[in-house]
Structure 1
């Protein structure tokens, strides 16, 4: 059988890929039954199909989009026999939008997929013994209600084929906007805010930004909500110095209950980076407040802050449990951002040092410490691999526990080297990408540490992303 582009095939989906795609195998007859023992035994070679939007357990009709020798990428045409794990997605645009890869999969099965994803990355990339990982892994922490959990969303503006201004989310692997103001993962206020802005643009002739030409004015809008405080923030990212009649827009948005901050962010660069560096307040405050447990944080449009506050409390609680603090430890929090984990840990530690390369984030961390009356923290601007050895070697600052929460690319190797040199008794690694986690744990495992506990936390239901907390202890 020769599989080629545009072929229509029927296949049963028996597995799920790392990006949420369905995986099925076609049984292909061996070309020469005498070639090998396997072929002589009458067994067939397997041809793998990767099918976006197909669910494990489905039998589907697909159209081949790109064919290779032993595998192909195919488009879902029709579900012939639905999987028992298939559910009706709440969003009508889930297949076009690039944001939710798993909406058609039952939540219980989503959690199973993420648990297996973490395990497989630690075994395959980290090189750990499967039995060892199985003994260390604890059940993933899911959500009771896995919808409308995001406290932050960034909506691009553009035009549809008829020339109408639209907003929504980009289609997968593209910058084509799928018009949708009511995301199933976002807060309910998003729709009202976006509809007000669209009416304003139409009334005052405000043009949307066009990436190809670099012309137009409104690029994106950032919406944030403090789940604990109920406070709302709207930040308009523009390709210019100001919006026409911008105060009228601010006044209209101010009518929404909870609106606390309306601002403009200027980004006139030809870039895919969403936010510029300058924020100008139109009405209210520049920052809103939210809390994780008993710690209150002030958040600006430029601040990094976990997008799922319900699960963040569970995530940080797990990190705190793994840290095993008694009140006598000196803790280093690397990639500390605005101090979210640092201040959480400071409630149980003797001293917490936070390191972050972004100066604005460190300023926020210091402000948040003062705001909460926390006095046992110090924050430093710089690279962890530069700040740590300076404080350790020059000032003799020891680390009993090191907590790391790096970006998706994982830890810099120099940072890992420094951590090993400081010889903390425990390392708590919070990861948003279990692939780079596996890589970094392999390094730490080869340099005196062993994995003691691992637990996933589902910060991003409906998607393939998952957070992981790992406890490493120094070998005797």
Structure 2
């Protein structure tokens, strides 16, 4: 993949840009195998490749520039806007939407926030595209003054961008490196975006986390479901469950599944999906995964964990080590933290593993492993 922004030096986010894709994928696979080799004689499956370009289903774009000439992309070292609306890793639907949103910013007089001066209103535009080509558009602003301006232009936006199914304004008043605030104002009749992933149609709410690569996420959920079905547990926990992707994919008759997630919005999404799919045996709880495990009366037969980059940490790893749980499926976006966690759980050995290239053109990857007591 070629990128004019990378070649011009205006954006270096994709650190592997220009490296042949086969070489990228082989390097990630080799890195994961070497890091995890001390923790079991794993049967490694072939890595899951991604499309090299157009794979990102979500764009988190900083708004800069001026009202009449807004930039949508990133900020440079001086805090000035750099326009990346033609970013090649974003999905085609997102790339088509960004110029429309730039014109909307100008028409509705949404003043971009100027970081060096701490003045202005509009900070980010967040756009998510579903597999059906529908969009969730979120404007992140400094105050609720932006709500009225966006609402006033909704009719025109719907005409210019008919794929925008959900439109919101998120209020983030603080001057710090936090993208979203707690307040989310939904301006459209619909408040959820349907993300079809395999046989499951997830209901994605505005502040819910979802994997940025839908095609590879589908493969990830399918791989984990295959491992779980092979073991056949009667009870499963999905810790750090997000919108319930793993929990809903491993649901089966007679199997009790509980998902745990700190984000209440994500839990609302997961519950809505379970209800629509008619899965009463799948339940979701809002709370801390470690606290949930430590307070439970009895452990399940199998645990799935999908933590943030820092991993599950010493406390949850220690609980798993002494829990008696026979099998663990660990999905990690950071194989180094995965290795640290495995060192804390010496009773478990890696029986199977797979690299899934969720983030082409970067050094990041997703690694899924099946752990069983040795």
Q: With structure 1 as the length reference, what TM-score do the two structures score? A: 0.73
Distance 1:97 1:422, change over 3 A: same
Q: Distance in 2 between matches of 1:431 and 1:328?
A: 22
Counterpart for residue 364 of structure 2:
465
Counterpart for residue 109 of structure 1:
23
Aligned counterpart for 1:249 among listed residues 132, 153, 164: 153
Distance 1:418 1:348, change over 3 A: farther
Cα drift, residue 212 of structure 1 = 2.5
Q: Distance in 2 between matches of 1:118 and 1:235?
A: 35
**1:7-44 deviation line (CA, Å, top 9, x unaligned):** xxxxxxxxxxxxxxxxxxxxxxxxxxxxxxxxxxxxxx
Counterpart for residue 188 of structure 1:
92
Task: Map 1:364-383 to 2 at 5 A.
Answer: 364-383=269-288
Deviates more, 1:173-182 or 1:366-375: 173-182
Counterpart for residue 11 of structure 2:
97
- Mapped contact 1:399–1:423 kept (Cα < 8 A): no
Distance 1:379 1:202, change over 3 A: closer
Deviates more, 1:451-460 or 1:89-98: 89-98
Aligned counterpart for 1:139 among listed residues 41, 46, 70: 46
Task: Map 1:304-315 to 2 at 5 A.
Answer: 304-315=209-220
Counterpart for residue 246 of structure 2:
341
Cα drift, residue 249 of structure 1 = 3.1
Task: Map 1:317-356 to 2 at 5 A.
Answer: 317-325=222-230, 327-347=232-252, 350-356=255-261
2:351 corresponds to 1:455: no
- Mapped contact 2:104–2:157 kept (Cα < 8 A): no
Aligned counterpart for 2:140 among listed residues 237, 243, 255: 237
> Quick check: which one's helix share is greater?
2
Distance 1:201 1:275, change over 3 A: same
Unaligned runs of 5+ in 2: none
Aligned counterpart for 1:152 among listed residues 58, 71, 89: 58
Cα drift, residue 176 of structure 1 = 5.0
Distance 1:206 1:350, change over 3 A: closer
Aligned counterpart for 1:119 among listed residues 8, 30, 33: 33
Structure 2 SS opposite 1:139: coil
- Mapped contact 2:58–2:128 kept (Cα < 8 A): yes
Structure 2 SS opposite 1:471: strand
2:330 corresponds to 1:429: yes
Structure 2 SS opposite 1:141: coil
Q: Distance in 1 between matches of 2:253 and 2:79?
A: 45
Distance 1:362 1:440, change over 3 A: same
Distance 1:218 1:401, change over 3 A: same
Counterpart for residue 204 of structure 2:
299
Distance 1:248 1:332, change over 3 A: same
- Mapped contact 2:233–2:301 kept (Cα < 8 A): no
Cα drift, residue 159 of structure 1 = 2.3
- Mapped contact 1:330–1:401 kept (Cα < 8 A): yes
Question: Cα RMSD (Å) of the superposition?
Answer: 2.3
Unaligned runs of 5+ in 1: 1-88
Q: Distance in 1 between matches of 2:324 and 2:79?
A: 46
Counterpart for residue 219 of structure 1:
123
Cα drift, residue 368 of structure 1 = 1.7
Structure 2 SS opposite 1:263: strand
Q: With structure 2 as the length reference, what TM-score do the two structures score? A: 0.92
Q: Distance in 2 between matches of 1:178 and 1:91?
A: 15
Distance 1:215 1:141, change over 3 A: same
2:102 corresponds to 1:198: yes
Q: Distance in 2 between matches of 1:328 and 1:190?
A: 40
- Mapped contact 1:332–1:354 kept (Cα < 8 A): yes
Q: Distance in 2 between matches of 1:202 and 1:337?
A: 35
- Mapped contact 1:159–1:208 kept (Cα < 8 A): yes
**1:194-224 deviation line (CA, Å, top 9, x unaligned):** 2233223334543210122321011001101
